Each structure stands twice: as C-alpha cells, then as structure tokens.
Amino acid sequence: MRDELLKNPVFAMAANQFDQVADFLALDDELRERCKWPKRLITVAIPVRHDDGNTKVYFGHRVQHHLTRGPVKGGLRYSPDVDLGEVAALAMWMNWKCALLDLPYGGGKGGINCDPRTLSMGELERITRRFTMEMIPFIGQDIDVMAPDMGTNEQTMSWIVDTYSTHAGRLVPGIVTGKPLCLQGSAGRTRATGHGVAFLASRALNKLGIDVGSATAIVQGFGNVGLHTALTLASYGVKVKGVSDISGAVWNEAGLDLNKLADHVAATKGVVGFAHGDAVDPAEMLCRECDILAPAAAGMVITAANAGQLRCKVLAEGANGPTTPEADAILAARGDIFVLPDILCNAGGVTVSYFEWVQNLQRYSWSEREVLTKLETKLEAAFARTLAFASQHGIGHRHAAQALAIKTVAEVKAQRGMFP
C-alpha cells in the first residue's frame, strides 16, 4: 500500500512534507509510521442508472487519515480526476488543519470519479444516494463527517442527510456539514473561509505595524473564498485594488466597488468586462505592490517564476496549496513577506463546519455574530501558537504550523498507546 500511495505525486509531496517535519520533531520510527499512513482507505463501486436507461459503475473513495482525536472531517469532491492517492494526501492535510485549530477531529477526504458538469440532477442524486448507502458501515456523526468540496454543494449534503437519516430512522443532521440553513446548516458558514483569511491578514498587518484602515489588497479568485475575503477586507477599510478570476483581472487604483463587481460576476460569470475598473494581465497583477496578496483560487500559482517578484507584505493563502515548495524556499530566503500558510489561513471553513456539527449535536443554533466571534477566537489562538512556535525555533510559519499539528497528533497517539 505504501508504494501504491507514493506513486501519486500529490501524496508523495504530502509524505515528503510530513517526513521533513517528523525529522524536525525527531519523532521516533514507531510514532512516525502511525502518524503518516492513513487508517482507512475505502473504495466502493457505485452502479448508477443514467437517464438514458444505461447503467454505469463509478468508483467512490473515502480516506480516513486517523480517528485518534475524534471523527474524521473533510470534503467530498466530484471530479473525473479523483484518484485514491490524491484523496489520501488531502486527508492528511485536513488532519493537520484540524489539529492546528485544535478541533477534535482527524482528517478525511473523499471523492467520486464522475464529471458533475455532464450529469443531470437526477443522475447526481442517484450517485450521491448510492455512495452514501455503500458508505454507511464506515460513516457516522461520531466517525466520519463529510462536507462539500469541488463539484459538490449544499444539495449534495442534503441528499446525504436524507439517505443516511432514512436508514437510521431519525434525522441525523450531524452526518455532514455545509448544509443549507433550513436543514440545520450554520449561520456564517458561507462566508467563514474568506472571513478567516481577511481576519488573519489584518492580524498579520497589526504584527507588522501597518495600519489596516489604509492598507491595500489584491485577491486572486472571486468565488466563495475570494469574494468573502475581499468583502471582509473592505469592511475593515482595506482598499481592494485588484481582483482576478479564471476570466481575467480588473484593477482600480482607488479601490474596486466589490458589490458592483459581485453583481457583474453574477450576471456575466467573470470579472472580465467590469466597467468600473481597468483590464490588467492576471499574472502581472500578482506582482503589483500591495499590503495583502490573497491567492484564493487555485493551487500552485506562486511559483519559482514569480516568488522573487512579489511586492506584497503579507501573503494570505486562501486557496489550498497556492505556493510551490520552490517558491516557498524563495520566500524564506527573501524573508520580507509575512506568510500565512494555507492550513492556518483558510481554516475558517472547517472551523465553522465544526461549529455546525456542535450545533447539530446540541440541537441548538447560534447567531452569525456568535459564530464569527467564536471563529475569530479559534483563529487568533492558532495564529498566536504558530507565531510563537516559529519564533521559538527560528523557522517559517508554514513549517511551524505543520510541526504544531503533527506534534499534537503524535502526542495523543503516544498517550493513548498502541491501539490508535
């Protein structure tokens, strides 16, 4: 199994990161093995009748990295590229994120190798319900709690709740998070990740002695994370001068009108053609001068090619894996950019997912203000722990965040003994 997983380049990268941190922590061989490899890799066949009457078998994967600190938590993605090794890597990273934020979860991830853009709602519903049925022996609100990811959404989560609850004979909203409000979703979940990115970016500016109210920002991506990062930054008085998405990039030296931009994107599906800004080259925009650069779209966009040219003070990683290891080394050598690593910076989403689960278990709901205040408390604590550990050991923030997370898991495994 080890060799099979390591054949996947994404898993190999995650395993390599783990090995480096394990060396730094001087983990003994036994703990290293127990922390590194996933506890359960589950693959199920999902036969589904298509609208044209033909039946096709899809494959669904779920990786539960470990259950040592509680149920596993992580998204379920629908994509033709889903691969067990990649799912295992994403589960490992979720594991670290949950540990860093001190959420009582292990990491999980799942995926089905289907292309949601080519499937009807009926086909998607049948795939989701059949996958849920196949997964029933392995999931539960105390075992594995899924959430939306690429290609899945509130509707997907609602079908999982319905299928699981019908089987259980009672409503079990805590089986997933990312549900709509009418099905006991949480207030604040939609904006949580972007709110967290903006909150932590403002805390980084505080540390650098830069006035947040007169700061400037550039945001890559204007989907869920990018939009809410930009809106929250603007609510602090930050001037968001540039925004890009898959269609292009727009710039306004005086600050973009984000509500007008959101309306434009809702109407045209992209930022390109926005009347109240100038079209600029999206790659060049990333290297313009600003206080906060927030890559909140895709992975591997800060590379060896542009890391040396960045002119931001804070790099707030809203996306997962936006910075390549080569770029990271360049940023470390420069030493003039405050990096907020992804497992910390975008952890607002999983933190409010955790709050959603807690509210479901309590059969109680909190106001958006309550949710966001609790979110900021959690993020602030993880931010402070990361900065203190980095300065204590003279290491970068990314390395510190990963080391704190792996140390947390290793301590619990050692404390519990051999079984976990």
Binding to ligand NAD in span 341-360, by CB under 6 A: 346, 349
Residue 226 in contact with residue 297, Cβ under 8 Å?
yes
Q: Which residue type sits at 239? A: K
β-strands 216-220, 144-148 pairing? unpaired
Closer residue to ligand NAD (CB): 323 or 360: 323
Q: Quick check: 140 binds ligand NAD (CB under 6 A)?
A: no
Beta carbons within 10 angstroms of residue 373's beta carbon: 12
Binding to ligand NAD in span 142-201, by CB under 6 A: 193
Segment contacting ligand NAD (CB under 6 A): 111-119, 131-139, 205-213, 217-225?
217-225
From 202, 220, 351, 408, residue interacting with ligand NAD (rule: CB under 6 A): 220
Segment contacting ligand NAD (CB under 6 A): 66-74, 110-118, 315-323, 333-341?
315-323
Which pair of tokens denotes residue 355?
């709050």
Number of residues that bind ligand NAD (CB under 6 A): 20
Q: Quick check: 306 binds ligand NAD (CB under 6 A)?
A: no
β-strands 216-220, 248-251 pairing? unpaired
* Beta carbon of residue 240, minimum distance to ligand NAD (angstroms, whole number): 14
Which pair of tokens denotes residue 316?
């707030």
* Beta carbon of residue 90, minimum distance to ligand NAD (angstroms, whole number): 9
Q: Which are the catalytic amino acids?
A: 109
Q: Which residue type sits at 216? A: T
Q: Quick check: 222 binds ligand NAD (CB under 6 A)?
A: yes
- What are the C-alpha distances in Å from 80 to residues 4, 89, 156, 228? 20, 17, 17, 28
What is the distance between the alpha carbons of residues 238 and 325, in angstroms, rounded to a whole number?
29
Which pair of tokens denotes residue 342?
């992804």
From 98, 225, 294, 340, residue interacting with ligand NAD (rule: CB under 6 A): 225
* Beta carbon of residue 17, minimum distance to ligand NAD (angstroms, whole number): 17
Q: Quick check: 232 binds ligand NAD (CB under 6 A)?
A: no
Which pair of tokens denotes residue 326?
């080569």
Q: Kindly tell me the sign of the dihedral angle through the C-alpha atoms of 256, 257, 262, 268.
A: negative
* Contact residues: ligand NAD, CB under 6 A: 193, 220-226, 244-246, 282, 296-298, 318-320, 346, 349
